[in-house]
Chain A
Amino acid sequence: MSGRKSITISLLILNLLSFLPLLTISFSPDQPTDRRILVLLDDLALKSSHSIFFTSLQSRGFDLDFKLADDPSIAVKRYGQYLYDGLILFSPSTDRLGGSLDLEGVLDFVDSGHDLILAADVSASDLIRSIAAECGVDFDEDASAMVIDHTGYAVSQLEGDHTLVAADDFVQSDIILGNTKIEAPVLFKGTGHSLNPDNSLVLKVLSASSSAYSSNPASKLSNPPSLTGSAISLVSVVQARNNARIIISGSLDLFSNRLFRSGVQKAGSSYKFEKSGNEQFVTELSKWVFHERGHLKAVNLKHNKVGGTDEPSMYRINDDLEFSVEIYEWTGTSWVPYVANDVQVQFYMMSPYVLKTLSTDQKGLYHTSFKVPDVYGVFQFKVEYQRLGYTSLSLSKQIPVRPFRHNEYERFITTAFPYYGASFSTMAGFFIFSIVYLYNK
């Protein structure tokens, strides 16, 4: 009897202990990849019609929490802590999100550094369009407009109205889209959006071809369409200053099983691809947006005088100093050294007095050495690194610089040697003169 009791107790304790590791599996600076993702759907049928996408996410280790968009039990935040690391909004026609989530809530979620995938579609609701507008992406004003391309459409058996577009105008970035080139065009059916060219944080990942335009296919065109050509973006990404990443797509079908599996033949070309580029495109983008790729961290910013090892609290003008910083890149599972040849450090006081490119030892250590300028004041070592697709690094460390002490100036000035010589020669001359004068007969 007691044996069984002790067995059950030990089993119970073991069970409880097994929950402990779960506490450590969450988004943290040491493991930047998101873990828990909230997926909001219009219609639970999306779970099966987009199952390839969802299972690929789950196989990479994400915890997906599926809910209907107007489910009243939705809560992303409890007692000030966020319950999820990422949000997928596949609910283009939802007017009101359930629970405690609304436009403000979604924007706060992103502002706190979390990631978002937003899919709009034809007749997207105002809520979805305003979330996109807050992120810097402007959908077509006519909610029922679709992207139509009469020369870049996907050839299909049905006599289509050319709203299924085969797009292959990708952004040139290995970080966002992966190392392998996407051979097949991506099938897209939905609304287009445009980006403000002054906004430096949004980026077109998939643009429409120059023959595309955005209008309602059911009605006749009465005046020229407002969105035309390659200004139309089909899928855009935003990397915010706090390194939150957002994908905004104008089509929910982009992620669907149907388009993943179908072949594609672009109008005007005779080659038919067996499989569209959708699956590769979406998978690579999701790796980027959930911080499995392109996430940098910089640690160990150090500086010291040449010849010393510890960091002084103050430098003197015309000192020689060494500077080093370590930068690592996250591969999805571990930190590896980041290798680049364009990381720069500034020695900055209101404007950079020294700007040097750091040299790397290929193991993540970036170092350089330079001479402190001939100006005294309070300087900063600044490393500002913003590259397409990578998180932005912004480090700074303050250090004061003092002028010479009164006994640190050079003792004898070389250009003044003739004057020294003249003064001493007059002294010697006086001495010799007085001897000669006194002892002259």
Chain B
Amino acid sequence: MGITFHIRRPNPRSQTITVLAGTQKSEKKMGRSTTSKDAQALFHSLHSAYVATPTKLKIIDSYIMFAVVTAVIQVVYMAIVGSFPFNSFLSGVLSCIGTAVLAVCLRIQVNKENKEFKDLPPERAFADFVLCNLVLHLVIMNFLG
């Protein structure tokens, strides 16, 4: 049987994979390698598409990654040690999640491909981001104990 894949991507590069008829074993083998090959191809296309995003958005994305990783580390630590000063735990996790959320909002508002926020000046978005972060950190410092 022949299996044909058509994958739609922003980049006009499609790939067609045809599998020749053969034994079941070789079909299975081909199926597995097809799936892994597909995953690889998917990853490559995603990667190359991502490389094309503007630098500002990439900076925001790395900031978000940092915040999420910090949050995960704190949750793992709490699972090991126990939730003794629970308010400190909540404060730490909330600071990470809050910064991540605010950064995501900034990214949405600044991304030129979003039709919704076409008329919003990016300076206005950044000013909102800064003010919200100030409020967030004020709350965090008070709740940290």
* Chains A and B belong together in one complex: yes
Residue count of chain A within 8 Å CB distance of chain B: 19
Residues of B within 8 A of A429 (CB): 63, 66-67, 99
A48 near B: Cβ within 8 Å? no
Tell me the complex Cα distance, A429–B70, Å: 11
Cβ-defined partner of B92 (8 Å) among A415, A423, A433, A437: A423
A413 touches B84 (CB 8 A): yes
Contacts of A394-435 to chain B: CB distance below 8 A: 413, 415-416, 418-420, 422-423, 425-427, 429-430, 433-434
Number of interface residues of B (CB under 8 A): 32
Describe A's contact surface by its main secondary structure: helix
B99 near A437: Cβ-Cβ < 8 Å: no
Please tell me if the beta carbons of A419 and B92 are within 8 angstroms of each other in the complex: yes
Choice from B60, B88, B133, B141 contacting A419 with Cβ under 8 Å: B88
B85 touches A415 (CB 8 A): yes
Q: Which of B1-9, B17-25, B43-51, B73-81 contacts A (4 or more CB under 8 A)?
A: B73-81
Chain B, residue nearest A432 (CB):
B63
Total A-B pairs, Cβ < 8 A: 74
- Asked if A13 is at the interface (CB within 8 A of a chain B CB), the reply is no
Q: Is A436 an interface residue (CB 8 A)?
A: yes
B59 lies within 8 A of A433 (CB): yes
Is A426 a contact of B130 with CB atoms below 8 Å? Answer: no
Establish whether residues A422 and B85, one from each chain, have CB atoms under 8 Å apart when the complex forms.
no
- Complex Cα distance A416/B145, Å? 10
Task: Given A422-B70, A423-B140, check contact A437 B96 (CB 8 Å).
Answer: no
Whether A419 contacts B144 in the complex (CB less than 8 A), given A434-B130, A437-B126, comes out as: yes
Q: Which residues of B contact A (CB under 8 A)?
A: 55-56, 59-60, 63, 66-67, 70-71, 73-74, 77, 81, 84-85, 88-89, 91-93, 95-96, 99, 103, 126, 130, 133, 137, 140-141, 144-145
Report A's interface with B, CB cutoff 8 A.
Answer: 413, 415-416, 418-420, 422-423, 425-427, 429-430, 433-434, 436-438, 440
Q: Sorted from nearest, which 6 A-B pairs have the closest CB atoms?
A: A419-B92, A416-B88, A422-B92, A419-B88, A416-B85, A426-B95
